[in-house]
């Protein structure tokens, strides 16, 4: 058995037979001289190949839009723009005429040069765009060389798909029902492949950096998308262990699915709401299946992570409308664009900053790009008539900033009225409480809004001064730090004093131990990734509110996260499990 380690990019465990999708390998490119008299014919071959490549991409785009929604067409729109790029055509023609070499060789050289340039950049997001260059140039080369690609749409038995680099078009084209898991040398957690794998609920380990090549066609492979482990040709004991883990997870999911239609009600009758966080509109199926009572956080910035161009007001309107309609009468909270920091959007001009997490992020960025902000606000407002939508501003740090955001919302409403576009006049407006200054003055902010949602991922980061993405200090990112607990309590109390509900959409809400403490502190709503919903619902249903209050009161007296962890482990041992 060999063990490979990559990035856990999409959760779940899968066991299956490896299918090596090596079609992504560079084909052998012929190189030969052409004469002056052959130049025009050579150029015509290129024009025909580009035309066919465009037909392929248009067909893929139409399929993506049909099956997954307008915003997924953007990937292919950007490929079409590249195929029409006059620079591409001009430089290919110039190389042809100056080098007198065949077209395959020239296209290949051109692709290599662009990829090299992108790889030399510091920006990992731009580096990931090499995938798109590979995609379009390989498509042109395939047509030039009459080389038909094996289509992943033709997969007809269950496989673990192993590739050097699956392209966005492969993810869209593949027969998803046959793909048990994805293992890939390339790719980061923000790559399209990772985003789409999560949206399709396919376990995935990416970023193996070359070691995926150690797998052979037909090898039995275990893929653990929760830890990033890949076991190749596992010994019988390992296989048995993973079969057991998988069966236990499936059994647990089955039991928990029975909770989907039940309320999140404590033993003594107190009811809270459990909602889900989503990144892409396709996740609504999973949200409903896991029994979430709404969407507490739609991270709208993922619509902007597609390369090519920022989504228009129209395409945002369609995407928000789809989510709101899919959720029926359940509430959907759309957070306005939270870019900057660790979320870099290729098409927005956010320059490199010394301290990006303290810099031009989220609401700060939106307030400085009013056109972009206005188009998003109008798109949300217009979509609000399809159901129960809410608007939420991220990273609010003080009342003046909040007033500016609210003024922008009023301006967007005025513009919709002017255009005669209908929207919900009384759409609820809330803010994320994720900056310590906002938590400290929650009493000042509360009267201005309809709800709070505590973002502990950032609140912990800023309170304890611990970069949430830095593995060296990850041990300090501690939800039970007394400072965090006190801030959370203050936000809940201040929200309630002003008569508004308080939610939490940071990861802390998905931990069953924390859920008991938060319930006891009076939290009204919990929002988390869809797969965590059943566990937290079960936790809430297995405890009394009075007991949760007693637990929270004890926790407030403790002086370190370690004491709290130990206390909760002992106190909740018989009822609440953290690992199912
Ligand atoms: C948070 O900060 O807790 C949050 C939910 O927002 P994000 O993780 O998107 O920063
Ligand atoms: Mg945040």
pLDDT-flagged residues of the chain (< 70): 23-27, 128, 146-150, 168-169, 172, 188-192, 195, 305-309, 342-351, 469-471, 579-580
Which atom of ligand 1 has the smallest separation from the CA of 434? 2
Q: Which residues line ligand 1 (CB under 6 A)?
A: 297, 299, 338, 434, 455-458, 505-506
Which atom of ligand 1 has the smallest separation from the CA of 299? 9
If you take atom 1 of ligand 1, which residue's CA is the nearest one? 455
If you take atom 9 of ligand 1, which residue's CA is the nearest one? 299
> How many Cβ atoms are within 10 Å of 208's Cβ, its own excluded?
23
If you take atom 7 of ligand 1, which residue's CA is the nearest one? 457
Closest-CA residue to 383 (of 303, 285, 289): 303
Half-sphere exposure of 255 (CA within 13 A, CB side): 9
* End-to-end alpha carbon distance in the chain: 28
CB–CB of 175/156 below 8 Å? yes
Q: Judging by beta carbons within 10 Å of its beta carbon (0-12, 13-18, 19+), is residue 570 exposed, middle or buried?
A: exposed
CB–CB of 399/441 below 8 Å? yes
Q: What distance in Å separates the CA atoms of residue 424 and residue 376, rounded to the nearest whole number?
A: 15
Which atom of ligand 1 has the smallest separation from the CA of 338? 9
Q: What distance in Å separates the CA atoms of residue 415 and residue 63, rounded to the nearest whole number?
A: 34
Sheet holding 179-184, edge to edge: 2-5, 229-232, 220-224, 13-20, 159-163, 179-184, 204-206, 7-10
Q: What distance in Å separates the CA atoms of residue 323 and residue 387, rounded to the nearest whole number?
A: 9
Provide the β-strand partners of residue 15.
222
Which residue among 275, 298, 299 has the greatest number of ligand 1 atoms within 8 angstroms of its CB, and so is best to mutate? Answer: 299
CA of 297 to the centre of ligand 2 (A): 10
Global pTM value: 0.70
**Cβ neighbours for 279, distance < 8 A, ≥ 6 positions apart:** 195, 198, 199, 299, 302
Planar angle of CA 19, 21, 26, nearest 5 degrees:
155
Q: What distance in Å separates the CA atoms of residue 263 and residue 144, rounded to the nearest whole number?
A: 60
- Give the model's pLDDT for residue 351: 67
DSSP strand E in 159-256: where?
159-163, 179-184, 204-206, 220-224, 229-232
CA of 40 to the centre of ligand 2 (A): 56
- Give the model's pLDDT for residue 471: 62
Half-sphere exposure of 380 (CA within 13 A, CB side): 30
CB–CB of 380/391 below 8 Å? yes
Which atom of ligand 1 has the smallest separation from the CA of 394? 6
- Give the model's pLDDT for residue 181: 97
DSSP strand E in 150-259: where?
159-163, 179-184, 204-206, 220-224, 229-232
* Token pair belonging to 121: 């950049």
CA of 110 to the centre of ligand 1 (A): 41
Q: What distance in Å separates the CA atoms of residue 460 and residue 438, rounded to the nearest whole number?
A: 13
If you take atom 4 of ligand 1, which residue's CA is the nearest one? 455
Planar angle of CA 306, 312, 317, nearest 5 degrees:
105
Which atom of ligand 1 has the smallest separation from the CA of 277? 5
* Token pair belonging to 198: 């999560």
Ligand number nearest CA of 335 is 1
- Give the model's pLDDT for residue 308: 53
Q: What distance in Å separates the CA atoms of residue 221 and residue 238, rounded to the nearest whole number?
A: 11
Ligand number nearest CA of 301 is 1
**CA-to-CA separations, 41 to 32, 104, 109, 225, in angstroms, rounded:** 15, 13, 20, 50
Q: Give the residue numbers marked as catalytic.
A: 192, 505
Can you give the length of the chain in residues?
580
Q: What distance in Å separates the CA atoms of residue 179 and residue 182, rounded to the nearest whole number?
A: 7
Q: What distance in Å separates the CA atoms of residue 475 and residue 288, rounded to the nearest whole number?
A: 34
Q: What distance in Å separates the CA atoms of residue 318 and residue 326, rounded to the nearest whole number?
A: 12
CA of 394 to the centre of ligand 2 (A): 7
| DSSP-based three-state secondary structure for 575 | coil
Q: Judging by beta carbons within 10 Å of its beta carbon (0-12, 13-18, 19+), is residue 221 exposed, middle or buried?
A: buried
Strands 295-299 and 332-335: parallel
Which residue among 190, 341, 364, 457 has the greatest number of ligand 1 atoms within 8 angstroms of its CB, and so is best to mutate? Answer: 457
CA of 336 to the centre of ligand 2 (A): 11
Which residue among 393, 484, 506 has the greatest number of ligand 1 atoms within 8 angstroms of its CB, and so is best to mutate? Answer: 506
Closest-CA residue to 381 (of 454, 311, 340, 321): 321
Q: What distance in Å separates the CA atoms of residue 528 and residue 277, rounded to the nearest whole number?
A: 5
CA of 435 to the centre of ligand 2 (A): 9
């Amino acid at each position: 058995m060999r063990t490979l380690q990559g990035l856990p990019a999409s959760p779940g465990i899968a066991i299956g037979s490896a299918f090596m999708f090596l079609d992504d390998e560079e084909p052998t490119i012929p190189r030969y001289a052409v004469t002056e008299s052959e130049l025009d014919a050579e150029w015509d071959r290129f024009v025909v190949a580009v035309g066919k490549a465009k037909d392929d991409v248009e067909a893929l785009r139409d399929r993506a839009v049909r099956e997954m929604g307008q915003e997924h067409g953007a990937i292919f729109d950007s490929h079409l723009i590249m195929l029409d790029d006059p620079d591409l055509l001009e430089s290919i023609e110039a190389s042809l005429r100056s080098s007198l070499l065949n077209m395959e060789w020239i296209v290949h050289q051109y692709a290599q040069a662009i990829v090299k340039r992108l790889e030399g950049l510091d920006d990992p997001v731009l580096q990931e765009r090499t995938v798109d260059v590979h995609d379009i140039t390989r498509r042109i080369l395939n047509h030039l060389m009459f080389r038909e690609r094996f289509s992943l749409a033709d997969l007809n038995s269950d496989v673990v798909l192993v590739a050097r680099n699956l392209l966005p078009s492969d993810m869209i084209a593949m027969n998803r029902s046959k793909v048990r898991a994805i293992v890939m040398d390339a790719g980061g957690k923000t790559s399209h492949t990772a985003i789409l794998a999560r949206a399709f609920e396919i376990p995935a380990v990416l970023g193996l950096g070359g070691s995926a090549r150690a797998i052979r066609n037909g090898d039995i492979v275990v893929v653990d998308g929760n830890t990033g482990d890949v076991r190749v040709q596992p010994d019988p004991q390992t296989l048995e262990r993973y079969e057991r883990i998988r069966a236990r997870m499936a059994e647990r999911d089955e039991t928990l699915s029975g909770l989907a239609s039940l309320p999140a009600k404590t033993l003594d009758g107190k009811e809270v709401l459990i909602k889900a966080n989503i990144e892409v509109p396709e996740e609504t199926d999973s949200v409903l299946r896991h029994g979430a009572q709404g969407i507490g956080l739609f991270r709208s910035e993922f619509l902007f992570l597609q390369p090519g161009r920022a989504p228009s007001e129209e395409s945002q309107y369609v995407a928000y409308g789809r989510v709101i309609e899919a959720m029926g009468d359940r509430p959907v909270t759309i957070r306005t664009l939270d870019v900057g920091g660790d979320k870099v959007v290729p098409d927005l001009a956010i320059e490199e900053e010394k301290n990006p997490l303290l810099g031009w992020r989220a609401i700060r960025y939106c307030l400085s790009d009013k056109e972009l902000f206005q188009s998003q606000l109008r798109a949300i407002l217009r979509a609000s008539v399809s159901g129960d939508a809410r608007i939420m501003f991220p990273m609010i740090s003080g009342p003046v900033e909040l007033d500016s955001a609210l003024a922008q919302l009023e301006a967007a409403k005025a513009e919709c009225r002017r255009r005669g576009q209908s929207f919900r006049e009384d759409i609820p407006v809330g803010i994320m409480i994720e900056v310590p200054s906002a938590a400290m003055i929650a009493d000042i902010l509360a009267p201005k809004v309809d709800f709070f949602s505590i973002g502990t991922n950032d609140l912990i980061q800023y309170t304890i001064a611990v970069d949430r993405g830095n593995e060296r200090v990850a041990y300090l990112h501690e939800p039970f730090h007394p400072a965090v607990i006190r801030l959370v309590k203050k936000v809940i109390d201040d929200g309630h004093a002003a008569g508004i509900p308080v939610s939490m959409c940071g990861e802390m809400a998905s931990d069953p131990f924390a859920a008991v403490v938060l319930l006891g502190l009076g939290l009204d709503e919990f929002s988390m990734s869809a797969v965590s919903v059943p566990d937290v619902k079960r936790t809430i249903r297995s405890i009394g509110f009075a007991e949760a209050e007693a637990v929270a009161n004890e926790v407030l007296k403790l002086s370190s996260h370690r004491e709290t962890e130990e206390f909760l482990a002992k106190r909740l041992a018989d009822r609440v499990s953290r690992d199912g």
